[in-house]
Amino acid sequence: MSDPARKANGNALTRRRITHAVASAAVLAACVTAPAASAAPLREVMFVGNNWDGTADVIKSTGDFAKIGRLNVIPDKDARLTEIYLNPIKLAFFLGIRSGPGEGHDQFVDDMYATPDGTAMVVSRPSFADVVSLDLATGQIKWRFPVSGFRSDHMAVSPDGTKIAVSASTSNTVHVLDINTGQQLGSFKGGDKPHENVFTNGGRYLWNMSIGEVNNNFDAPWQDFMKGDRHITVVDANTYQIVRTIDMRSRLDAFGRKDLSNAVRPAVFSPDYSKLYFQVSFFNGFIEYDVATDKVTRVKTLPKNSNTSDDRTTYVNDSRHHGLSMSPDGSKLCVAGTMDDYATVVDRNTLQEGPLVTASKPYWATVSGDGRSCVISESGSDQVTAIDFGTGQKVASVPVGDHPQRVRIARISADWTGARR
């Protein structure tokens, strides 16, 4: 090749290298400077679990609490029933749940939370003894975790939204799952019939309350020993090792209330986690417990409804009052008086109750998105009702599905109105 040709060829090669280098630099700059694709915008809502008809309503978390849409939480019902009816032991427990805690109905949704990205609802389904993740866009199941034993119950989500704790009530076990994959991260044993779960101290600890046997009629005070081992189990939320157990029996006895059950039902902590407020079986009121001193410090008895029988065997799953929440500033408690058919806001300092707001078998209490209201589920009239923390008066009621129980705050896609069929 002649020198001129060699020179021209070299110049062309140089130009190609320069062009390639400029293009590569442009791609690199775009990768460094271009913002990552933004996640879909989310909005705050409330999930309402309709236990007996196997649906979850999605409502606004503030304002008029209007209904946004509904999700079927048992799209696999036929498959699950086939599985149950082919297994005599599973069938016996399935029918036992129907005749016992289900009050003649199957229990299809107990508790539910949203995944951190707002794309799925994670639901515990007692009669199917499992936890499932439902794609909010399609309504299809993303993953399923069968719990140990034959019934799943209350759940709790970690503060960072990544872990779900679920009580497996017939195996006395609490499973902790990765909320996105359903993989078990750990588990631990609680007392008889583990029930409520609460993460505390920024997710460092997990508290589980066991309620004992609620499906027998040995409900008289002298028959208390027939209710089994009831205590609070506190575990390290990273290792799932038990760090403390608390049996309220001795604490209640020391306070002079040997008449009260030690079966801890719904519970709520003060904002600094120094005080625990909880309901117990058969009692129309709640108890205050000081965590540092390990003592019961106050007991609040709330009014009885004159139409409510004193026959303990008539109380749903032993719970005369079931549902407790606290205003974000810690100044007010909201109590669901289940068998007494009312809810009321209580001043935390004085323990003075406000107006008794008539409600039909209220089964749960939570806090609205703006923190202004207590939201209760009225399982007897198939609606949720908001009560103003400041005035103690009813704000709004919204119809939902059959037998609403748990109500939870969630964040989901801003444009969601229901799953595609």
**CATH for 316:** 2.130.10.10
Residue 8 lies in a domain: no
Domain count within the chain: 1
Predicted confidence pLDDT, tens digits, the chain (421 residues)? 444 444 444 444 444 443 443 333 333 333 333 344 456 799 999 999 999 999 999 999 999 999 999 999 999 999 999 999 999 999 999 999 999 999 999 999 999 999 999 999 999 999 999 999 999 999 999 999 999 999 999 999 999 999 999 999 999 999 999 999 999 999 999 999 999 999 999 999 999 999 999 888 888 888 888 899 999 999 999 999 999 999 999 999 999 999 999 999 999 999 999 999 999 999 999 999 999 999 999 999 999 999 999 999 999 999 999 999 999 999 999 999 999 999 999 999 999 999 999 999 999 999 999 999 999 999 999 999 999 999 999 999 999 999 999 999 999 999 999 988 6
Task: Determine, yes or no, domain membership for 361.
Answer: yes
Q: Is residue 284 part of a domain?
A: yes
Cα–Cα distance measured from residue 287 to residue 251, given in angstroms and rounded to the nearest whole number: 11
State CA 93 to chain mean position distance: 23
8 A C-beta contact, residue 365 and residue 336 = yes
Rg (CA), the chain: 26
Burial of 127 (0-12, 13-18, 19+ CB in 10 A): buried
At 221 the pLDDT is 86
CB atoms near residue 215 (< 10 Å):
12
Give me 315's structure tokens: 């109380």
Distance CA 326, CA 278 (A): 11
Question: What was the pLDDT predicted at 134?
Answer: 98
pLDDT computed for residue 17 by the predictor:
42
Instruction: Quote the pLDDT of residue 10.
Output: 45
Residue 253 in domain: yes
Q: Does some domain include residue 141?
A: yes
Residue 120: inside a domain, yes or no? Answer: yes
Q: How many CB atoms lie within 10 A of CB 381?
A: 17
Residue 418 belongs to a domain? no
Residue 296 lies in domain: 41-413
Q: Are 343 and 322 in contact (CB under 8 A)?
A: no
d(CA 265, CA 287): 11
pTM of the full predicted structure?
0.89
